[in-house]
Amino acid sequence: DTAVSQTPKYLVTQMGNDKSIKCEQNLGHDTMYWYKQDSKKFLKIMFSYNNKELIINETVPNRFSPKSPDKAHLNLHINSLELGDSAVYFCASSHKRAENTGELFFGEGSRLTVL
């Protein structure tokens, strides 16, 4: 059973299109994240939701809009795709409690290629 699953795994699209990536976790965690990993493998946090509320919103263009319909899901919608959006997008989840280590559980990533 996959703990954090993302779809699609690969996405190839033209500049200017709108696309979505979905993420689901079955770990019962209350916090979910989106990270972007560029071609040099640098990993940057984009968003974090705790119990469906946005708690971290880094300096990300407003073409990127996360949506969390419930605690187990966090989707990422991207409007007007640009070449620079090409990257691997990772979803992650964790459980925020004082006694927890805050370990992040990652999905396998969604590789987005914008042509």
Contacts to another protein by CB under 8 A: 4, 33, 35, 40-45, 48, 55-56, 90, 92, 94, 96, 101-104, 106-109
Q: How far is the CB of 80 from another protein (least distance, A)?
A: 27
Contact 58, 68 (CB under 8 A): no
Residues 6+ positions from 101 with CB-CB distance below 8 Å: none
Q: State the minimum distance, in angstroms, from the CB of residue 16 to another protein.
A: 28
Provide the minimum distance between the beta carbon of 95 and another protein in the complex, in angstroms, as a whole number. Answer: 13
Spatial distance between the Cα atoms of 86 and 32, rounded to a whole number of angstroms: 22
Do the beta carbons of residue 23 and residue 107 sit within 8 Å? yes
Between 106 and 113, whose beta carbon lies closer to another protein? Answer: 106
How many whole angstroms separate alpha carbon 3 and alpha carbon 48? 18
Looking at beta carbons only, is 20 or 109 nearer to another protein?
109
| Beta carbon nearer to another protein, 6 or 75 | 6
Q: Which residue has the tokens 């990257």?
A: 87
